[in-house]
Amino acid sequence: MAKPRVLHCITVYNGRAFVPRAISSALRMDQSVADIDVLILDDASPEPGWSEELKAFCEAEGALYYLTPRNLGIPRNVTLGLKTALECGYDYVTINNSDVIFPRNLVTGMIEALTKNDNVGSVTAWSNNVSIYSVPNEDPDLHLADQSVVDWVSEVADKTFGGTVLDIPAGISFCIMMPISAVRTVGFMDPVYGRGYCEETDWSLRSLEMGLRLCLAPGVFVYHQGRGSNLDAGLVSAGHTTVPENEAIIDMRYPLFRAQVEAFFQADVMTWHRGKLIHELMDIAAQRDGLQIDLGWLSTLSDDKVTLHAEPQGDSTLLKLSRLGFTQSYATPTVDASKAITNRFGDCRVSIDVHDACSLHEELALAYKVTPKDLSCGYPSRV
Amino acid sequence: MAKPSRPTTTTAKLAAKPTLKAEKPAARPRLTPATVQTTVDAISLAQALRDVETANARVIDLTRRLTTMSQEVLDLRAQLSRGAVGRAGDHGVARDLFEARAEIAALRLQLGN
């Protein structure tokens, strides 16, 4: 049986600093499940020489390149991708921003999410920056803007949630996949949204009205620089995050939408999923890279290991895990802190740094048979 | 108001359900670096023509709704000002009544009953 065909569209407007990175990551995606054509839709980027440079880059790397004769704006440029996929016989289409890094498993994970679940009209990838569904990260541009990191986070996401979907109030077209049947049913982006913003919300809500589910695929993780492409496109100005006149159209057309978003917040489905992913990331990273236990009030983050910062607070101890900008915090009774750490990270390679002496460091030194490094200053490290 | 000259500009047409499901465009050849510009150009042109048609229909529809609503605003303003005049009149009568009652009460006090 022939593999399904995917048209992977990346909309581009300027973005010399980040577009080649996005294209390279798209071209190395796993094609074991589907044949992927990467189509770059350059919306008449005005930056001098950039379109020629981009065309040459695409030709050299193996991506399809299309230059619009004049600027269309995001909604119509996206429509071009959807319509091309529809008319050229593709089975799936993905619409993507250009300030992203795709994981290797993106298309396999998205197709799995679409095929394992009934009646899904679109799946949005998970990310550090995907509106209200984001996985928080302390400094995504520092920690996540790296292909190997994105691949790893997405692999862990796949192991944790692969094939599952979460119903969400609206899709986000920074990285969204639609089966072509959904495009045929719902149609294209509405040009009433001008240069863009909210057009995918409109598409999403139309698809919902037509009985299709809107889903997030927590099994794939895409790094999204965020606002890079929108700022470049002059869509939003610095300090603004949206286009008010487009939101007004959404409010007029879909008066229940804000209440639906609020209900989604109240249901709080994201908290568990975020916590679960970060928990798995910490466990796997600690096994792979080792664990640096940092005892005391002032912590220093390890560059290459999971940092477990244990901060005694009287009867309870706050444990804060950090790796690649992801953090997980939880309190445990101080008497059980050592046990809580060894139960979870018993097999890991461990180093212990002591900033403030406490009973924990002796227990942990004994449990892990390591000599703690004394970094204390001889008095409490914080005021 | 002038009637739209093109059938596509009627409200009924605009409100019609999308018919994309029934659409079965002739299959285009697979995209290749050599064909992508011409293939997508053709798709873009076809869509642009539809967008223009829809944009024209929307302008006419919005203009009709705007003029209707403007007229409604004018009518409501007129009603509001007539009501305000009426209420001002009512207020005057009430004030006269209040003053008359006060005068009667003062006279009664003077007469000692």
For A214-235, the pLDDT digits (tens) are 999 999 999 999 655 555 555 4
Give the number of other Cβ atoms within 10 Å of residue A368's Cβ: 21
| pLDDT at position B7 | 40
Examine the pLDDT at B13 and tell me if it is beyond 50.
no
Rounded to two decimals, what is the model's pTM?
0.84
Task: Tell me which chain A residue has its CA closest to the CA of residue B34.
Answer: A64
Distances in whole angstroms, Cα of residue A376 to Cα of each of A298, A361, A365, B83: 10, 12, 16, 81
Examine the pLDDT at A190 and tell me if it is beyond 70.
yes
Are B47 and A79 within 8 A, CB to CB?
Answer: yes
| pLDDT at position A296 | 86
Rounded to whole angstroms, how far apart are CA atoms A324 and A140? 8
| pLDDT at position A22 | 98
Rounded to whole angstroms, how far apart are CA atoms A313 and A315? 6
Are B36 and A65 within 8 A, CB to CB?
Answer: yes
Examine the pLDDT at A142 and tell me if it is beyond 60.
yes
Per-position DSSP letters for B39-72, written without gaps between them: HHHHHHHHHHHHHHHHHHHHHHHHHHHHHHHHHH
Rounded to whole angstroms, how far apart are CA atoms B14 and B22? 17
In percent, the amount of chain A with pLDDT more than 70 equals 96
Are A66 and B36 within 8 A, CB to CB?
Answer: yes
Higher per-residue pLDDT: A379 or A1: A379
In this prediction, residues A111-132 reach a mean pLDDT of: 96
Higher per-residue pLDDT: B95 or A205: A205
Best CATH choice for the domain A5-267 from the list 3.40.630.30, 3.20.20.70, 3.30.70.270, 3.90.550.10: 3.90.550.10
| pLDDT at position B3 | 45
Are A39 and B27 within 8 A, CB to CB?
Answer: no
Chain A contact residues (CB < 8 Å to B): 7, 37, 39, 41, 58-59, 64-69, 72, 76, 79-80, 83-84, 86-89, 183-188, 191-192
Distance from CA of A118 to the nearest CA of B (A): 19
Please name the residues between 35 and 94 in chain B that touch chain A, using a CB distance below 8 Å: 36-37, 39-41, 43-44, 47-48, 51, 54-55, 58
Are A192 and B58 within 8 A, CB to CB?
Answer: yes
0.90 surpassed by complex ipTM: no
In percent, the amount of chain B with pLDDT more than 70 equals 73
Examine the pLDDT at B16 and tell me if it is beyond 70.
no
At A274, list the tokens.
């975020």
Residues in B touching A89 (Cβ below 8 Å): 27-28, 30
B35 in helix, strand or coil? coil
Higher per-residue pLDDT: A26 or B31: A26
Write down the residue that tokens 């100005």 correspond to: A237
Examine the pLDDT at B19 and tell me if it is beyond 50.
no
Report the Cα A256 to chain-centroid distance in Å. 27
At A186, list the tokens.
């719902």
Domain coordinates of chain B in residue numbers? 45-113
Examine the pLDDT at B15 and tell me if it is beyond 60.
no
Examine the pLDDT at B8 and tell me if it is beyond 50.
no
How sure is the predictor about A314, in pLDDT bands with cuts at 50, 70 and 90?
confident
> What's the mean per-residue pLDDT of chain B?
78
Task: Tell me which chain B residue has its CA closest to the CA of residue A75.
Answer: B51
Are B33 and A76 within 8 A, CB to CB?
Answer: no
A24 in helix, strand or coil? helix
Minimal Cβ distance to A88: which of B28, B37, B58: B28
Examine the pLDDT at A151 and tell me if it is beyond 80.
yes
| pLDDT at position B87 | 78
How sure is the predictor about B27, in pLDDT bands with cuts at 50, 70 and 90?
low
| pLDDT at position B22 | 43
Please name the residues between 6 and 25 in chain B that touch chain A, using a CB distance below 8 Å: 18, 20-21, 23, 25
Backbone phi and psi for residue A110, each to the nearest 5 degrees, phi listed first:
-70, -40
In this prediction, residues A23-50 reach a mean pLDDT of: 97
Rounded to whole angstroms, how far apart are CA atoms A185 and A377? 67
Tell me the CB-side half-sphere exposure of residue A326, using CA atoms within 13 A: 24
> What's the mean per-residue pLDDT of chain A?
92
Contacts of A232 (CB under 8 A, 6+ apart): A13, A14, A15
In this prediction, residues A282-294 reach a mean pLDDT of: 95
| pLDDT at position B99 | 84
Task: Tell me which chain A residue has its CA closest to the CA of residue B19.
Answer: A185
| pLDDT at position A215 | 98
| pLDDT at position B10 | 39
Residues in A touching B69 (Cβ below 8 Å): none
| pLDDT at position A66 | 98
In percent, the amount of chain B with pLDDT more than 90 equals 43
